Amino acid sequence: MQFNSAELGFLRIAVASPAVTVGDVTGNLVTIHAAIEDAQVEGARLLVLPELCLTGYSCADTFYHETLLEAAWNALVELCDASEERNLAVVVGLPVAVDGRLFNCAAMVCGGEIVGIVPKTYLPNTNEFYEARWFRPASDAQSDIIDVGGYEVPFGNDLLFRLKAPAGPDCLIGIEICEDLWTVQPPSGAMAVAGASVILNPSNSPEILGKAAYRRSLVQAQSARCLAAYAYAGAGPGESTTDVVSSGHSMIAEYGNILTETRRFRFDTQIAVADLDIGRLYAERLRSSSFGGAQTQRTFRELALEFAPSNETMSADDLRRRVDAHPFVPRPEERGEVCGEIFAIQTTALTKRMRHIGSASLVIGVSGGLDSTLALLVAARAFDRMRRGRRHILAVTMPGFGTTERTKSNAVELARELGVELREIDIRDAVRQHFRDIGHDENRHDITFENAQARERTQILMDLANMEGGIVLGTGDLSELALGWSTYNADHMSMYNVNCGVPKTLVRTVVEWCADEVFEGRVSEILHDICDTPVSPELLPADAHGNPQSTEGTIGPYELHDFFLYHFHRHHVRPRKLCALALKAFGEQYSYNDILDTMEVFHRRFFSQQFKRSALPDGPKVGTIALSPRGDWRMPSDAVAAIWLEEITQVRRELQEANSRW
């Protein structure tokens, strides 16, 4: 499937650390032209080059020489002329003399024009830095438009550059230079409040031990704080090594995440390219009341970047950013820390609730599935923390018409190994009696057949809780809440639900972590087998081939639903873009039709099942996504998914037409 990245809110940007020679403006211009050509080939619309890269940052007292300054300006004019033939904006660093003062500047060049020149705001002048010896800060500028060599150019640190988008939000770009980022109040903060969603930083930050990690953390933190993208271009090892070494550390971050970065300490030109999700940043700002209420005393001038919008199409594979197929699941190196935090949140929440109500006992239905397993593990740990014996936990297994021996035996054995009280109550006779009472044919395996079992189980748990003077612990996870994959007033209901903030893909990960890191011996073995068991409500008898009822066979893969939930809820992504992201994330694992079919199921169920979420029991928020009607998600129960479904239909139609032409 082909799509226009700009129409989906993406902007391809490049940062480069060119092979600069100190003082050799002519040679540096050749190298910079080559970097621009590379960025153009990569399809970038914006290229950021390092601080003072036309001359070299480390020219020292030769910055006073008219010969060097004139050569730098002439090189900028040549770049300007060359840009007329390129659909690319370039930010390049150079020294500029204005009104008898010298400034360390970044020039924005686009469409055959020098669009604007931004002087550095803060000049470092300690340790190895002597910038105040040669340059003046932006505050000393006397003019906001300068005439250099016959060019009238906007000048100042109050410039923002607007890039019009063919669809969706425009991109407003701000520039700060090196040290500006390292100060107490970086100028980019005010730029972001004024609307800049992309911040560019031409820099020369010499290396010392540990500085690369600190620099990376600054870029990440500022992009997160500003709800922006941040492109940082660092000078390379071609700079003078008289006293320090520059490494060519360039990187691109978006809202706290590093998308890409260059290799350091390489003498050849290094370039890194990424697709920024401008639409995502716009959505983050819309939902942030803190950002919306932020104000700045600074005023800015807006300048337009004029070049033709890109009409090139690309496949999802060509998207230059990592799209995580499992956005809720931690990376392997982070699993222990993240899962430990989740487990701590769940157990702390349950401990607080048990202490508050003063109940000594807890009742939980166990099926041998992932959700009830995680809830049981949380309960066991919470009772350990309260120094109450696990025998006060009553685990109830309630086999019905679809229960398999594998899940039942896992539930029974796990409860026994954990040392909780276990009861087995077969619900089949009670449900048959109910069928007779309401006149339902037991051989008719419809929704009544399934839900009657779910409600019988909940009635048993509630009555046992009354008998024991305890509460019923809910087990339904976040994915089930999103899809409404629960029986209303049955497994939908409890006195407290510790899993309500944990989606299905993450439930499996936490249980696996418990098996590997928290529990051992036979408990660990049982947990691993539970993780390997296909997800099923086990409300219908096995089919003619002995296969149990399959949840994912009915509604589609949970990993797709969790992917859709994350981007729909967190970033408000529309179906067309969601399809492109899913194709990028899952590659050839799913076909276009698989993705669109599951996406349609997700949107239909998410909207139609809101009435269940409007009546949810209490439970702790765990990650950035939650569906509690008292917290993160408010939606009327009679809202409809029509326009989302229409777009899915349109994408499907376009796909079919493209395939027929092919």
Active site residues: 51, 120, 178
Residue 139 is given by DSSP the state G
Please, are residues 523 and 417 in contact by the beta-carbon 8 Å criterion? yes
Please, are residues 459 and 420 in contact by the beta-carbon 8 Å criterion? no
The three-class DSSP label of residue 279 is helix
Of the chain, the end-to-end C-alpha distance in Å amounts to: 11
Please, are residues 508 and 557 in contact by the beta-carbon 8 Å criterion? no
Residue 602 is given by DSSP the state H
Phi-psi map region of 367: left, alpha, beta (phi>0 left; psi -120 to 50 alpha): alpha
Phi-psi map region of 591: left, alpha, beta (phi>0 left; psi -120 to 50 alpha): beta
The tokens for 408 are: 């039942």
Distance between CA atoms of 13 and 274, rounded to whole angstroms? 6
3-state helix, strand, coil in the chain (%, to 5): 45, 15, 40
The three-class DSSP label of residue 530 is helix
Tokens 């799509």 locate to: 3
The β-bridge relationship of strands 113-119 and 101-110 is antiparallel
Tokens 């409404």 locate to: 484
Query: Residue 551 phi/psi, 5° resolution?
Result: -65, -50
Distance between CA atoms of 505 and 565, rounded to whole angstroms? 12
The tokens for 211 are: 């500085």
